[in-house]
Amino acid sequence: MDGQTGRRGFLRFGLSMLAMGLGGASIAGPALAQAVALRADGNGARLTLPLGPTERWRLTATARPARLRLHLPGGWKGPNRLAGAGPVRGGRWDARSGSLLLDLEGPVAAPGVDRQGGSLTLTIRPGSSAGFARLARSRTVAEGGPAAARRSLPVVVLDPGHGGKDPGTIGVSGTYEKRVVLATAHELRKRLEAKGLCRVVMTRSNDTFIPLAGRVEFARKRNAVLFMSMHADSAPGARGASVYTLSDRATDALSAGLAKRENAADAAAGLHLPPVSPEVARILMSLVRQETRQGSDQMAQFVVGSLRGDVPLLPNTHRQAAFAVLKAPDIPSVLVEMGFLSNASDEAALNRPAHRAKLASALADAVHRFIANRTA
């Protein structure tokens, strides 16, 4: 090794160590360009550059010409030229856009991403033309930084039932179901976001009517890992919280009646959808994958376990029925009845902020257990 090569290697090492020590601080200027390395790795290539763990970056692709573009934070300066390796023909710094351009020999697969302390490594390997075309059509191939880390969290959808022109159940003392479920959902969202283990979105955050099918589609479009619909219904003689999962056959008459009433919400709000045939209904039910049902049942058990001892429970707390909002074929889904507004004691409790906070705390615990079990 000659002296110049040794000095260059030492400089790369020193810059990497400095980046690790500074954490999220940017290292700008010409010296940074020398710390960028593109090396062959089997039939692929590895691009490594110093980048703090809190610095934002984004990778995009274009099909014509076949190219990857790595957008980097302000003040970052890459190399004017970068010798090619593997499927990468070569690279260059585009000062105008603040990005590193990687010209490709042909289509590549979605690059692998590895963060080690103060460095970012992208592994680029040949891929199919169809796969690369999909990458080019997407707005972002990969990204990093605080906002990206938040977006990568599992998504939990909270669905406060009813809303707008559909009040839901009206309690014996005049309490509107749509209001108490929304208030509890906001409390639950606050607790989940404070823990930071998931990203929470709500089908409605104000007094808005959303059709049942729209609620399911809302969750599917966001690739949710869990869907929780929240209600406070009415039933003669019933009291206490309960949780429901999907089944084409109800476990009991109470569950069947609740499902029938909730599923009629669209019609009550003026929507008249054509009924499906029994054959179509069976096909739809068959789409509910076994693992989705298992996830739903598991979440229901977590809900029961978390609620027990904190709030009154309906006997046989976990029940099953054909609720329309639980029919996403690929998202574990539960419907939580927080109590019955037809019962004076339940209604009074649901109107107390302390009781809603207790419900929210128990449900948050159940969600956290579900997420922990999912990633174990």
Residue 101 belongs to domain with CATH number: 2.60.40.3500
What CA–CA distances, in Å, run from 253 to 27, 228, 237, 325? 67, 22, 13, 19
Mean pLDDT value of segment 268-274 = 44
Q: What's residue 69's pLDDT? A: 93
Q: Does 33 have pLDDT greater than 60? A: no
Banded pLDDT at 331 (limits 50, 70, 90): confident
Tell whether 193 is covered by a domain.
yes
* Burial environment of residue 70 by CB neighbours within 10 A (0 to 12, 13 to 18, 19 or more): buried
Q: Pick from 127, 145, 163: which residue ends a domain?
A: 145
Q: Which residue has the higher pLDDT, 37 or 290?
A: 37
Cα 97 to chain centroid distance, Å, stands at: 30
Q: Does 104 have pLDDT greater than 90? A: yes
Q: Which of 27-41, 211-225, 265-279 has the lowest mean pLDDT?
A: 265-279
Tell whether 252 is covered by a domain.
yes
CB count, 10 Å around CB of 205? 14
Render pLDDT for 255-265 as a digit per residue (tens, 0 to 9): 566 556 555 55
Tell whether 3 is covered by a domain.
no
CA distance 278 to 289: 19
- The verdict on 139 and 183 lying in the same domain is no
Q: Pick from 96, 126, 145: which residue ends a domain?
A: 145
- The verdict on 311 and 199 lying in the same domain is yes
Tell whether 289 is covered by a domain.
yes
Banded pLDDT at 281 (limits 50, 70, 90): low
CA distance 218 to 325: 11
Tell whether 178 is covered by a domain.
yes
Q: Does 26 have pLDDT greater than 50? A: no
Query: pTM for this one?
Result: 0.58
Tell whether 284 is covered by a domain.
yes
Q: Pick from 145, 168, 203: which residue ends a domain?
A: 145
Q: Which of 24-33, 49-58, 306-315, 343-352 has the lowest mean pLDDT?
A: 24-33
Q: Does 220 have pLDDT greater than 70? A: yes
- The verdict on 224 and 111 lying in the same domain is no
Render pLDDT for 170-218 as a digit per residue (tens, 0 to 9): 999 999 999 999 999 999 999 998 887 888 999 999 999 998 878 888 8
Q: Which of 50-59, 142-151, 367-376 has the lowest mean pLDDT?
A: 142-151
DSSP H/E element including 113: strand 112-116
Q: Which residue has the higher pLDDT, 77 or 185?
A: 185
Banded pLDDT at 106 (limits 50, 70, 90): very high
- The verdict on 113 and 82 lying in the same domain is yes
Residue 222 backbone phi and psi in degrees, to 5: -100, 10
Share of the chain above pLDDT 70, in %: 76
- The verdict on 178 and 314 lying in the same domain is yes
User: Residue 229 carries which side chain, given as an amino acid letter?
Assistant: S
Instruction: Give the highest mean pLDDT range of 4-13, 119-128, 148-157, 352-361.
Output: 352-361
CA distance 28 to 146: 20
- The verdict on 265 and 223 lying in the same domain is yes
Q: Does 79 have pLDDT greater than 50? A: yes
For position 196, which CATH number holds?
A: 3.40.630.40
Question: How high is the mean pLDDT of the chain?
Answer: 80
Cβ contact 149:75 at 8 Å? no
Tell whether 69 is covered by a domain.
yes
Q: What's residue 148's pLDDT? A: 59
- The verdict on 106 and 160 lying in the same domain is no
Banded pLDDT at 96 (limits 50, 70, 90): confident
Banded pLDDT at 31 (limits 50, 70, 90): very low
CA distance 116 to 236: 60
Banded pLDDT at 269 (limits 50, 70, 90): very low
Tell whether 305 is covered by a domain.
yes
Q: Does 74 have pLDDT greater than 80? A: no
In three-state secondary structure terms, 359 is: helix
- The verdict on 291 and 367 lying in the same domain is yes
Q: What's residue 27's pLDDT? A: 34
Torsional sign, CA 369, 372, 374, 376: negative
- The verdict on 259 and 293 lying in the same domain is yes
- The verdict on 181 and 118 lying in the same domain is no
Structural domain of residue 282, as residue ranges?
155-375
Q: Does 49 have pLDDT greater than 80? A: yes
Q: In sequence order, what are the residues at sequence separation of 6 or more whose Cβ sits closer than 8 angstroms to the Cβ of residue 34?
A: 8, 11, 12, 15, 79
Q: Any long-range contacts for 88-96 (C-beta under 8 Å, 24+ apart)?
A: 88/38, 88/45, 88/47, 88/124, 91/38, 91/47, 93/33, 94/69
Q: What's residue 181's pLDDT? A: 97
Tally of structural domains, the chain:
2
Mean pLDDT value of segment 56-60 = 89
In three-state secondary structure terms, 248 is: coil
Q: Does 141 have pLDDT greater than 70? A: yes
Each residue of 324-363: b (16+ CB within 10 Å) or e?
bbbbbbebbbbbbbbbbbbbeebbebbbeeebbebbbebb
- The verdict on 273 and 173 lying in the same domain is yes
- The verdict on 275 and 369 lying in the same domain is yes
Q: Does 274 have pLDDT greater than 60? A: no
